Structure 1
């Protein structure tokens, strides 16, 4: 075994002995399985890493921004400000579509299954 592996094992054992893992959230509970079947296999590990770091993938961030802008447009009373918000909103679907084409997600079987539902949201 290599030195790095042995060091890592020793640090984990020391942490267990010191009780460093005793107060972690979800301790003693089974892990919830994640359904990543809609994510292309080559992107799954990246999505999992981003999720664990509480970072949204760019396409999800764009969707979130689009929904926020729609809510703001619906509540806005100032016509000038409403136009600015509409202009910002119009840029988001273009960026989203470009991103989807670039990543070739639109050709994946998962996208085909949910294509109509996705387009209805827009």
Structure 2
């Protein structure tokens, strides 16, 4: 046992003796274990990290859809079709921002996306 491990063990024992572990959230309740059998073993740690940080599959899907719509807008020549695509992009952006606000992270992505669209329009 190395020195750091011994120090850690001593501090944990002292905290336990002082009762510092008694009022923790979930104390005395069974742990909620997740079923990760559907995730390959080599990806489970990455999945847990993403999930614990608030990342969701819906967020990933919406990001992908937004990028696809942005590419379509860049290549679109018809102004009516472009307006429809822009409307779809705005709807996806609104949903994305709702997801991000649920994670309690401030994001100005809609501001930057609209700014990017204005720059692209001026460059054409």
Q: TM-score, normalised by structure 2?
A: 0.45
Greater RCO between the two (CA within 8 Å, min separation 6)? 1
| Largest Rg, 1 or 2 | 2
Q: TM-score, normalised by structure 1?
A: 0.46
